[in-house]
Amino acid sequence: MLRRLSCCVLLVLPVFQLLAQSCTPPAGGLPGANPADFWRQQRQFPRVRAAEAATGPAVANLLRTHYLDPRRLEIMFRLVKTRVELEVWARNQGGGPFELLHAYPLAATSGSLGPKRRAGDYQVPEGFYEIDRFNPKSNYHLSLGLNYPNAADLALGEPNPGGDIFIHGGEASIGCMPITDAGIEEVYLLAVTARAAGQAVIPVHIFPFPLTEVELAKHATSPHLAFWRGLMPGYAYFEKHHEPAELLQLAAK
């Protein structure tokens, strides 16, 4: 019976990986009935006000030059570890596929290629996540938390998979994604703007390298090969459509 259950879990793992970003409600939700209340809540914090004063004009110009309306903004994040930069993709609500808005170099890295499986392994997770926390009082200036561990991590990880994975400021990493204080100010303001515009789920996709057959062949002996192949449909779908993969869309292919 246990062997049969284990097989069932392995068969549905790609489902967990693709749906993880839509199965977890954002922590804290949207304050009040009006999503714009989120801006008012965030402006209560000195670092957010300081970031808005220092970086807000640059963010506004970035949106303007890409014809993005802050009142309709949607964003998502993507990290391909070998590229060592956090990509911010954006669009107007109902305005078609995402376009690359900006890429922020990582100020530090930790771990190696492969998913995070236990607390203290210094690994940056891999898979499909979402932002579930806004931390305006971070030890690393400002930070955005990921909903790690997700369903796939819990199914495949060790009993203590760890947690508290963030996109944050500073220049140090023990499994997180630091993009300097200046970088996180822009990214944080973009995320607040999108959340205040009504975007309840901000996806975060993390891959070890471009998940193509050519690249996978270079890692054919890796113990993570099967896991990476499970991520391939979501990677390929976004590469083709610039939309986060939906399970039904992939199943129809």
Residues with catalytic roles: 168, 176
Distance CA(42)–CA(48), nearest Å, equals: 6
Residues 6 or more apart from 32 whose CB is under 8 A from it?
none
The token pair at 158 is: 């060790």
In sequence order, what are the beta bridge partners of 207? 80
Coil, strand or helix at 95: coil
Distance CA(70)–CA(92), nearest Å, equals: 8
Axis crossing angle, helix 2-23 with helix 225-241, rounded to the nearest 10: 30
Distance CA(85)–CA(114), nearest Å, equals: 17
What's the Rg (C-alpha) of the chain? 18
Count the neighbouring beta carbons within 10 Å of the beta carbon of residue 189.
Answer: 23
Count the neighbouring beta carbons within 10 Å of the beta carbon of residue 47.
Answer: 19
